Structure 1
Amino acid sequence: MSIWYPHVTVATVVEENGKFLLVEEQTSRGLVYNQPAGHLDPGEDLVQAAVRETLEETAWNVNVTGLLGMALYTAPSNGVTYHRTTFIAEPVRHEPERALDSGIERALWLSYEEIAAAEEHLRSPLVLAAVEQYRNGHRYPLTMIYS
């Protein structure tokens, strides 16, 4: 008997001057856009994972300021269910010389309109949904998360 479990992931919505920090990454579907995102590593908490993934995928150091929301998503491509915790962060410092994670082509800043227009090239529907939640004022304190 196999045990089902969701994959724990984090994502970060980083906005500055009306633009959102995204990554362009290579997948089996080709190049897609996503928030900086990834899996929780052993021994780290969710906020630490969000900061680490954002730095590894974009070369941006960020300060996580709040919780945006949580979602379950089952990817049609592989049937895996992801439990995604999405955070809000502000950019602190860019390290342009830093190498990006494998599979990440580049980090870029896009407006809401550009993200919405690229809907068919988004990694999942969670990308646009997170930006829309952010634009609609969803903000929750980090104290909602405890260990």
Structure 2
Amino acid sequence: MVATLPGQAWHPDVTVATVVALEGRLLLVEERIDGQLVLNQPAGHLEPGESLVEAAVRETLEETGWQVRLEAFVGSYQWTAPGGQQYLRFAFAGQALAHDPSRPLDEGIERAVWLAPAELRARTAQHRSPLVWRVAADWLGGQRHPLSLVQAL
């Protein structure tokens, strides 16, 4: 557990991720982190003034060029990175609607890729974090919750 100093606020990074499946394959991104090519779901940070749902749709478009419609909430995940940074990830399931191949992708994103679940599992060493497979495995196992569980007031 990471301790904070007296009077110091704890601020975990709040992130969103989207599982998108098409013809038996999952939409992922290959991105460069510290010079390493890693795999992740389309994911990113919640920005001020947006809902978790809006963030998931935005991040998917920015990182892959795919417009999606969210259909379910997969789950929430808490993870502490090896350096001590803590993350709260909210994962969603979405349907692919349209792709814009000419859209520039976010900085650091090399490309969007479609992988069969077995291919994703075989490349575990390339996952950006253990959250990548955990979210995919939960989705593959049928974990779906109504979007109404995620409220923005």
The question of a shared fold, defined as TM-score above 0.5 by the shorter chain, is answered with yes
Specify the structure having the higher radius of gyration (Cα). Answer: 2
**Residue 108 of structure 2 aligns to which amino acid in structure 1?**
G
Q: In structure 2, what is the Cα distance between the partners aligned to 1:29 and 1:140?
A: 36
Which residue is 2:16 aligned to? 10
Q: In structure 1, what is the Cα distance between the partners aligned to 2:140 and 2:30?
A: 22
Q: In structure 2, what is the Cα distance between the partners aligned to 1:21 and 1:129?
A: 15
Matches within 5 A, 1:81-96: 81-96=86-101
- TM-score (norm. length: structure 1): 0.97
Matched position secondary structure for 1:56: helix
Matched position secondary structure for 1:57: helix
**Residue 139 of structure 2 aligns to which amino acid in structure 1?**
Y
Mind listing any 5+ residue stretches in structure 1 that lack a counterpart?
A: none
Matched position secondary structure for 1:96: coil
Which residue is 1:65 aligned to? 71
Matched position secondary structure for 1:10: strand
Which residue is 1:135 aligned to? 140
- In the alignment of these two chains, the number of paired residues is 146
Q: In structure 2, what is the Cα distance between the partners aligned to 1:37 and 1:125?
A: 14
Matched position secondary structure for 1:55: helix
Which residue is 2:27 aligned to? 21
- TM-score (norm. length: structure 2): 0.93
The CA deviation string for residues 63-90 of structure 1, in whole angstroms up to 9 with x for no partner, is: 00010000001111x3210100000001
Which residue is 2:131 aligned to? 126
Give 1:2 deviation, angstroms.
2.2
**Residue 3 of structure 1 aligns to which amino acid in structure 2?**
A
Which residue is 2:81 aligned to? 75
What's the % identity of the aligned pairs? Answer: 49
Runs of 4+ in structure 1 deviating by more than 4 angstroms, as ranges, are none
The CA deviation string for residues 18-56 of structure 1, in whole angstroms up to 9 with x for no partner, is: 100000000016000000000001110000000000000
